Amino acid sequence: MVEGGCFCKRIRYIIADGVYPSVICHCTMCRHIHAAPHVTWLVVPVAQFEYVAGTPTALASSTDGTRYFCSSCGTHVACCNTGHTDIIDVAIGSLDKPEAFPPTLSIYVDTQLPTHPTLEIKP
């Protein structure tokens, strides 16, 4: 069982054990919303993911994307997209053990900050 949640622990989730892609996103929306140079997402089938404590607040960040965060501590834990409703992107920093899923791909590298490089992982 993979577990995680927000900083204040009001939001907790579980993910069934499995092999899931870990993707570094350099898009400007992730950058602003997480206030970080880039965000790594664990890409999980929604059927494998479940909130077990708390209910995150939804933020429509685009016409097809919705972000989910803890209204108490502000941690962003997940993102869903109407383009792939069977998938939930889980913010890797919210996992209890993010080191279990090293990133294998970078996306939106066209907007990557050259001053904040990551591993050379390109699609």
Question: Which residues here bind Zn ion, judged by CB under 5 A?
Answer: 6, 8, 10, 25, 27, 30, 70, 72-73
Specify the residue, 30 or 91, whose C-beta has the smaller distance to Zn ion.
30
Least Cβ distance, residue 34 to Zn ion (angstroms) = 9
113 is written with which tokens? 């900050």
Alpha carbons 60 and 79: distance in angstroms, whole number: 10
Specify the residue, 25 or 42, whose C-beta has the smaller distance to Zn ion.
25
Specify the residue, 17 or 59, whose C-beta has the smaller distance to Zn ion.
59
- Which residue type does 72 have? S
Residue with structure tokens 């992982």? 121
Specify the residue, 2 or 27, whose C-beta has the smaller distance to Zn ion.
27
Least Cβ distance, residue 75 to Zn ion (angstroms) = 5
DSSP states of 9-56? SSSEEEE-S----EEEE--HHHHHHHTSS-EEEEEEEGGGEEEEE--P
For 117, the 3-state DSSP assignment is coil
Least Cβ distance, residue 107 to Zn ion (angstroms) = 7
Least Cβ distance, residue 8 to Zn ion (angstroms) = 3
